[in-house]
Amino acid sequence: MTRQVTSGFALLLALGCGSQTKVEQDSDPQPVSTALQALAARDEQVVAQCGQAVQHCEQQLPDAAPSSVCQRLLEHCDELQAHLEEVRAHVVGCLHGVQACQEHAPEQAQCSRDVSRCEPLAEGADEDRDTVLQCSDKVQACLVRVASLPEAAAVSCENMAAACERVSDLLEQAGQERARGDAKANEHARSAHDAMDALDQEDENEDSDDAADVDEGDTDEDEADEEEAEAHGAADAGAGKGVGKGR
């Protein structure tokens, strides 16, 4: 899945809105609104790409494949959208607070809240988002792969999706704790990232096993070919001797 990973918060800074002095002096809520739109837009792009994978699945689905796999991929896209909303929710809440403060601050007065207060939440949310997308990519790739396999093969994708659901739950909890200033946020975020690493390792092991099975199958075929060649050779030699005796 190709993604644009530009941070919405980085876009906010690029627009010149990261200047605390500018925000406080101008009390202009428009830059914050732009940042909110950027956060939503980058996630909408990812979900749209997931939707394109669903369309491709429906168009390329072999006749013998289970039709439910494309429906499951569609459900996965909906789940991805929900998880991305969860990850950015606390940054969005912080930016809305800044926006409301700017809109209601008396003229010429400094707003008591500024964008810099949202930076720690944004940094954590960007890391969490990357983890969500890594997990999502694995589930999507699995579903696309099993589209041409028997329905029983989809069980592995369901197991992977369940593991990713657990990762997303931990990240949502970490985001809530981060917004409250709870020190446990780092612990839960680390647990989610460790779970993702474990899933990566498990996937690599399965790929290694598959490769070993292929190699073993090739070796067996080679040995069978050699045995067959030897058998033909022995038969030819025996036939040659038989002809000689006949003479």
247 residues of the chain, pLDDT tens digit each: 545 444 555 544 443 343 333 333 344 557 788 889 999 999 999 999 999 998 888 887 666 555 678 888 999 999 999 999 999 999 999 999 988 888 887 766 677 777 888 888 999 999 999 999 999 999 999 888 877 666 667 788 888 899 999 999 999 999 999 998 888 888 888 898 888 888 877 766 665 544 444 455 555 555 656 666 565 555 555 545 444 444 4
Distances from the Cα of 157 to the Cαs of 26, 72, 177, 181, 229, in angstroms? Answer: 51, 10, 30, 36, 43
Task: Specify the number of domains making up the chain.
Answer: 1
CA nearest 193: which of 153, 166, 223? 166
Report yes or no on 3 lying in a domain.
no
The model's pTM: 0.70
Category of 110 on φ-ψ map: left (φ > 0), alpha (ψ -120 to 50) or beta: beta
Rounded (5°) CA angle 209-1-82: 105
Report yes or no on 63 lying in a domain.
yes
Report yes or no on 163 lying in a domain.
yes
Report yes or no on 247 lying in a domain.
no
Report yes or no on 24 lying in a domain.
yes
Report yes or no on 242 lying in a domain.
no
Question: Residue 80's domain spans which residues?
Answer: 8-237
Backbone angles phi, psi at 119, to 5 degrees: -60, -45
pLDDT of res. 57: 84
Report yes or no on 243 lying in a domain.
no
Report yes or no on 231 lying in a domain.
yes
Copy the structure tokens of residue 14.
Answer: 């690029």
